[in-house]
Amino acid sequence: MNVKHQFEKHFSIENLSRIFKENIALSGATGIDNLDPATFLKQQDEQLEILSRKSLAGTYRFSKYKLKLVTKGKGKPPREISIPTVRDRVALRALNDFLSERYDTSVNFELPQDVIARVKTDLDTKTFNGFIKLDVKQFYPSILHTELMSRLRKRIRGEHEYILELIQSAISSPTVVKSCKNDNLETKGVPQGLAVSNILAAIYMSNIDRALKQYEGISYFRYVDDVLILCDFDKAQDLAHDIIKRFRRIGLIVHKPDPNSDKSVIEKIGHPFSYLGYYFKGETVTARQGTVERLKDSIAAIFTASKYSKHGNEEFLLWRLDMRITGCVFEKKSKGWLFFFSMINDEKLLHELDNYVNKLIKRFKISGKPKRFSRAFKELTHNRFQTNYIPNFDKYQRHQKLALLHKYFPKDVEGKTLIDAQIDYHFRRRIKKQTKDLLEDIKDFRS
């Protein structure tokens, strides 16, 4: 399919309607115009007709993004996240899907745990005796628009300049606390938090990825701005110097390798190191301590919230707790801390987490019995597609959805006669909220 037909397919009114229903309708986020998805729904036909028509005509332009600051922990500057308007979120999702299809043969997206699986496999071969870990300073804000557009033009030719102009509008719209007339367009960087941010970053890095994968005698891994290379330790310094130069040519500055730093390191295999939230120490692959502590905090918060809630009950507490422990499958995606850290081999950590939960059960005098991290991990690694221990909400039938709503969210259904679409809406809305909480356990896993 050529560029024009691909773009028209993704920006058709039918596809934009699907994107809004599946990805945006249940969220509560608002952009600079303060229009929430519920209000947008009332204007959906008109709004999506405008979006489709203007995008295909090459006249659609993105609104300014609303600034949201996300803490990365004590002593660290917050991450700046850009929040688009609802209509722009639909456009950005469609643009992401278009670019993903356009670059499906040249840009490979992997989940962090899949990258870790490959790292483990290569370490197990005992082929390498050294490693290089590199971290880019301010990756997204450093992306040069001219370099990015140059790469995009290789797959989106001049006769489709209107598509490039749409992308340029997406990355140059300013992120602001409050809109002002003198807000200037951005000339550098890709806003973080947009549906299109990751695919644009991958396209930006594609030349470097291609070059480094051709190096002999190394194994190269990259996830966004985190690079790991397994190599001959005697050649590591020269190799790191060459890679850092390649990054510098496209405006990316790498943290200088330092044995006392966790950002960029050159060391021999066997020296402990962390990568993508995982911690490698000898033969042990475990979760970095910071992510473990974040998980424990979120578990404790479930007990505290239940204790001080006017409508809290033990069944709902245990349901939320079980979700935190096992994770779930929802909207064709595996979600939760245990799925993310499914590549660990540290059974001791799993039992430590089980003991932590049991202590909270006793402290808060809960009579029910929660699920166990150790059991969930075994089900995940040995029986993932048949297990009932980890909920798969995509397989829930009408009666199961209704039963769950009656049990945990009775206000949604009691005394009402609901059609299937209404039951599905309430079910998806409630599960969406719970899975959003699961993401908090693994956010900023690279920091």
Sign of the CA dihedral with 96 first, then 102, 108, and 114 last: positive
One digit per residue, the tens of pLDDT, for the chain of length 447 reads 799 999 999 999 999 999 999 999 988 889 999 999 999 999 999 999 999 999 999 999 999 999 999 877 777 788 899 999 999 999 999 999 999 999 988 887 788 999 999 999 999 999 999 999 999 999 999 999 999 999 999 999 878 999 999 999 999 999 999 999 899 999 999 999 999 999 999 999 999 999 999 999 999 999 988 999 999 999 999 999 999 999 999 999 999 998 877 789 999 999 999 999 999 999 999 999 999 999 999 999 999 999 888 776 899 999 999 999 999 999 999 999 999 999 999 999 999 999 999 999 999 999 999 999 999 999 999 988 889 999 999 999 999 999 999 999 999 998 888 999 999 999 999 999 999 888 766 665 554
pLDDT for 185: 95
Bridge partners for 230 per DSSP:
131, 219
pLDDT of amino acid 133: 96
CB 384 within 8 A of CB 377: no
Predicted local confidence at residue 447, as pLDDT: 45
Helix (H) or strand (E) run with residue 279 in it: strand 278-281
Whether pTM > 0.75 for this model: the answer is: yes
**Domain chopping of the chain, boundaries:** 3-104+144-179, 112-140+201-282, 287-444
- CATH T-level assignment (fold) for domain 112-140+201-282: Alpha-Beta Plaits (3.30.70)
Q: Record the tokens describing residue 333, joined without a space.
A: 């995606």
Cα distances from 262 to residues 93, 113, 167, 238, 242, in angstroms, run 34, 20, 35, 20, 20
What is the reported pLDDT for 443? 60
- The reported pLDDT for the residue numbered 446 is 52
